[in-house]
Amino acid sequence: MKIILVRHGQTEGNKVHKFIGGRTDEPVSREGLEALRGRTYPQPDHVFSSPMLRCIQTAETIFGGCRPELAEGFRECDFGILEGKTHEELLGDPAYDAFIGTEGADTFPGGESIPAFNARCLETLRETVETSRQRGYRSIACCVHGGVIMAVLSQVIEGSSYYGWNVKNGEGYILEIDETKWKEGQLDGTVTCGIDHRIYT
């Protein structure tokens, strides 16, 4: 099975590098929508999406006006006190400075635990794959958040790191898996290519 993982289009918050997580349901900006329309994406048998507006809009824009199936577990991480602020605005906040000191391996102050977020994302993808296997889909797309892509791939691709899978808005990866092995709990896969402006324009 091919899984097309796509990060949503750029929002106004993304443009100025704010932490836009699970508490902020902002839309894709006009500029972001134009960028999405200027690209061509592989077309799947079925589309899943985070329930957040920016992901739904992205799915509808790049996959022919489809109505994506929503997966609550693909919601972006709750960034707590970081939500809606930039790195520069947060510098000097003791809770933020302590979080940075852990290299982002702990819990967002006032927000979600990173290990719990990672587990939630992987379990949601596992459930999505099993649903798709039962329905006979050979390729699916998941319009999600950058953090969700990083959480999933860092756990599925052996030897990789969370921040090594960082992607820009509208970009992503194609993950190939053996869905039968996934049903048996062997959650591994291969990234066959990246989705970016060099490949799909």
Q: List, in order, residues 6 or more apart from 53 with CB less than 8 Å away.
A: 25, 26, 27, 28
What integer pLDDT is reported at residue 197 of this predicted model?
Answer: 46
Mean pLDDT, to the nearest integer, of 76-90? 94
Entry pTM: 0.91
Q: What is the torsional sign of CA 81, 87, 90, 94?
A: positive
Burial 150-163, CB ≥16 within 10 A → b, else e: bbbbbbbbeeeebe
Quick one: average pLDDT of 1-18?
A: 96
Residue 200: what pLDDT? Answer: 44
